[in-house]
Structure 1
Amino acid sequence: MNHLWTGVFPAITTQLRKDQSLDLEATQRHAEVLIRSGVSGMIVCGSLGENQSLAPEEKRSVVGAIVQQSAGRVPVLSGVAECSTETARKYVQDCERLGAAGFMVMPAMVYKADPRETLAYYRAVAAATSLPWMLYNNPIGYTVDVTPEMMRELSDVPNLIAMKESSGNTRRITEMRIVNGDRFALFTGVDDLILESSILGIDGWVAGSGIAFPQENQRLWEHTRAGRWDEARALLRWFHPLLKLDTHIKFVQYIKLMVQECGLGSEWVREPHLTLEGSERERVLAIIREGIGSRPRN
């Protein structure tokens, strides 16, 4: 099946200044580097983009800035991470007017919805926009688990076209295919499971750590598409410690520090996140600098 969205859709950081104000120009510069690396799309204001820490007008400013920077070269999706159905509906309508190409929709924040409430929420958000969207399943981070059977119940929602599967259980990829066939494009959202997920059959990758190493990230994806498994394994062995930085509760701080070390942005984060310090900072820096120092030459 030919899906509308396939390939690498990196989730980009929202660049900030030291005083925690938005740095839209820096965010645009990083987006440009990613576009030129060959990505197929881009996701702003996701978890890595610190969506929940941004004011409503800030989120809309980020979406508008990256839509402008992309200039139609790749689709720009926005994360949707609101606490109520109504604010989510309003957000997708505003982003549609700003030129977003679609959405990555998380469950309603804070409240742990049951399956009936979860399905009702997603249907209501979907009905508020004509744009396509990706359902983001991350029960580890957001407690709500959308199972393959629940996705089958949502299969009649025409603009739901993809799923970002971040349960950490690669069995879900096969189970999704058994239950839903090729109805949805499947994206992995767990960086260090990219190779296993590719073997099982995915259509895309919402990359995190790779935003600091976009050329290598794209090359790894292309190896999996071409079935060059020896090359993919070799590249993954270098990349793996860096990819694992995306699987920690402080992944925002870790990846922003990595972006800074690679000269693509700064480490400043929005409170309640705090920049790293002490032994933790030194440990993460050691991983990053080892990766930079041993970076493959081709």
Structure 2
Amino acid sequence: MWNGVIPAVTTKFTPDGELDHAEMERCFALQMEAGCDGLIVCGSLGEGPMLSQDERLAVLKTAQSAAKGKPVLMTVSEAGTREACALAAKAAKAGASGLMVVPSPIYHTDEAETVATLRAVAAAGDLPVMIYSNRVAYRVDVTPRIMEELASDARFVAIKESSDDIRRTTEIINHLGDRYAVLTGVDNLAFEALSVGAVGWVAGLVVAFPAETVAIHRLLKQGRAAEALEIYRWFRPLLDLDVSTFLVQNIKLAEALAIGSTEHVRAPRRPLAGARRAEVEAIVRRALERRPALKLAA
């Protein structure tokens, strides 16, 4: 459950802003058909903060239907601990396989507050937890020292490592051994992280290019690093689109061009326009024109 390629999927909307469950079902199924190992819903890429808790639970249900028994994790990223605990409990009741938990994205907790928040959410959900460590986006660094303090609670099982420092993967493993499954959460550091011990990839561009994402992970597992690197180098300009304030719009445009999906987003976001749209579209179209042939053993 805590390894392989796990897409952080986008949430699909109709033109009038309602949840588009049919399109989500179609897109989520493409991830499963490509060999992904689970789904994570309602994260940053999934526009979770723009959704009500009831909407997030509805997205969870759709993902569970598409996943065909593979794990589906709910992202918990709430301003207040009370609200985070409430969502964790609701997700558990709805049958989520686990939680991916962010400390408050609004208030920048100190170490003691970070530990207390994560413990409270884990207790409320009583599910396996992946700690989302993203000091760049959320200004809270869940350090190896914090991870060590939380290690006594068996519900904490994995780390989504998104510090944007490739040294951190090795630091976690050196400090804590195999206590946590370490998954990389930065698309354009994935090859590097997987090469030094990360066991999985919480991926973003996978939603538009699932086969290539899965191929990189599988090739590395098979010891075929040179072949994986060739695909990764082709993929890299696309993967850079994940590391942006506009990652949601970037990746939804990539989905529109690569798999015929939609670009509808929740306000205050707006679809890309003008020079920024032209730049992203050129990157995606160039990649599609040069798409590598995949030769991969199961």
TM-score, scaled to structure 1: 0.97
Q: Which residue of 2 aligns with 1:19?
A: 16
Aligned match of 1:234: 230
Q: Contact 1:45/1:51 (CA < 8 Å) preserved in 2?
A: yes
Displacement of 1:129 after TM fit?
A: 2.0
Kept in 2, the 8 Å contact 1:43–1:78? The answer is yes
- Which AA in structure 2 matches 1:276? L
| Residue type of the alignment partner of 2:14 | R
Residue of 63, 66, 70 corresponding to 1:66: 63
> Considering only aligned residues, what root-mean-square deviation do their CA atoms show, in Å?
1.0
Partner of 2:164: 168
Question: Is residue 2:131 matched to residue 1:130?
Answer: no
Report the Cα offset of residue 109 of structure 1: 2.3
1:56 is the counterpart of 2:76: no
- Give the SS at the match of 1:206: strand
Kindly provide the amino acid, as one letter, of the partner of residue 237 in structure 2: P
Structure 2 residue aligned with 1:269: 265
TM-score of the two chains, using structure 2 as the length reference: 0.97
Contact (CA 8 Å) 1:210, 1:243: kept in 2 or not?
A: no
Q: Which amino acid aligns with 1:42?
A: L
Q: Counterpart of 1:89?
A: 85
Does the aligned pair in 1 maintain the 2:39–2:67 contact within 8 Å? no
Specify the code of the residue in structure 2 equivalent to 1:293: E
Judged with a 3 Å threshold, the aligned counterparts in structure 2 of structure 1 residues 47 and 65 are, in CA distance, closer, same or farther, namely same
Q: Which residue among 12, 29, 33 is the counterpart of 1:36?
A: 33
Which residue is 1:282 aligned to?
278
**Preserved CA contact (<8 Å) 2:91 2:125:** no
Q: State the identity as a percent.
A: 41
Instruction: Specify which of 129, 143, 150 is matched with residue 147 of structure 1.
Output: 143
Say if 2:38 and 2:67, in contact at 8 Å, map to a contact too.
no
CA distance in 2, matches of 1:78, 1:261: 27
User: In structure 1, how many angstroms separate the alpha carbons of the residues matched to 2:205 and 2:259?
Assistant: 14
1:200 aligns with 2:196: yes
Partners of 2:96 and 2:64 lie apart in 1 by: 6
CA-to-partner distance for each residue in 1:183-220, whole Å, 9 max, x for gaps? 00000000111111112111110000121011111101
Name the amino acid aligned to 2:252: K
The amino acid of 2:155's aligned partner reads N
Structure 2 letter corresponding to 1:278? G
The 3-state SS of whatever aligns with 2:267 is coil
| Contact 1:41 1:75 (8 Å CA) reproduced | yes
SS of 1:202's equivalent in the other structure is: coil
Size of the alignment, in residue pairs? 294
Alpha-carbon spacing, 1:156–1:270, altered in 2? closer, same or farther (3 Å) = same
Indicate yes or no: 2:175 matched with 1:179.
yes
Give secondary structure in 2 for the equivalent of 1:205.
strand
1:83-136 per-position Cα deviation (integer Å, ceiling 9, x unaligned): 111111111111111111001101112111111101000000011122101000
Residues 6, 37 of structure 2: 8 Å contact kept = yes
Residue 264 (structure 1) shift: 4.5
- Asked if structure 2 preserves the Cα contact closer than 8 Å seen for 1:81 and 1:88, the reply is yes
Secondary structure at the counterpart of residue 262 of structure 1: helix
Residue type matched to 1:139 in 2? R
